Structure 1
Amino acid sequence: MRIDGKLAGLAAFLDRGEQRVFHHTEVNNAYRGQGLSTVLIEQALADTKAQGRRIVAVCPAVAAFLGKHGGFADMTDPVTDETMDWLEEKFAKKG
């Protein structure tokens, strides 16, 4: 998410088949307290839905959003040990 050309926040994810695994969400300090994380997450999830992907919320902020907003329940998969192992392997390769 950019505001006036500056990076205000991000929702980080990796695609795994038909799933989009959200693993981190962050809003820069200068933009906190303005409700931007909700907007950011909602837009990221809407984009995921538009692409026909399923949501896996490893990120606590995305999981909390999903718990409060039922509009994405039909396209959300649980976080499994297999998903976590896959994610760990992806990050080990990058590190």
Structure 2
Amino acid sequence: MSDQTSITAPSVHRVDARHRYEIVVDHERAGLTAYRDREDQRVFFHTEIDDAHAGQGLAAILVEQALTDVRASGRRIVPVCPYVAKFLTKHQEFADITDPVTPETLTWLDAQLGR
């Protein structure tokens, strides 16, 4: 019988009250991708992974599961966040639900975020 510390697989949770998806590793939040909803669109504007968890591929897991959730909800994706935009160039399976970033979207987002 070995005495190994069990490491849990990363899990992604949508936290509607905070307008974000969080990735949790070993019961700790390791990162997030933030959004705001505009009509039938989910506008992603920021993604971050904590330094302690960098380089583990967690951002890709987080964004893929978030976008999969967007698809399941019947919404569309607007990739204002540079990481989400880059992810989408490599994952064409989400192209059918992706809308372009427009000046109107950016103005709306700035108003939502109080910028």
TM-score normalised to structure 2 length: 0.79
Show the 5 A alignment for 1:29-40. 29-40=51-62
Quote the Cα distance in structure 1 between the aligned partners of 2:69 and 2:46: 16
Please list the CA deviations of residues 66-89 of structure 1 after superposition, one character each: whole Å capped at 9, or x if unmatched: 001100000000000000000000
Quote the Cα distance in structure 1 between the aligned partners of 2:24 and 2:90: 25
Query: Relative CO higher for 1 or 2, CA cutoff 8 Å, sep ≥ 6?
Result: 1
Letter in 2 for 1:24: H
Quote the Cα distance in structure 1 between the aligned partners of 2:53 and 2:69: 22
Q: Moved runs in structure 1, 4+ residues, more than 2 A?
A: none
TM-score normalised to structure 1 length: 0.95
Match of 1:46 in 2: 68
Match of 1:28 in 2: 50
CA radius of gyration, larger in: 2
User: How many Å apart are 1:4 and its aligned residue?
Assistant: 1.4
User: How many Å apart are 1:40 and its aligned residue?
Assistant: 0.5
Q: Structure 1 or 2: larger helix share?
A: 1
The runs of 5 or more residues in structure 2 that have no matched partner are 1-22
Q: How many residues align?
A: 93
The runs of 5 or more residues in structure 1 that have no matched partner are none
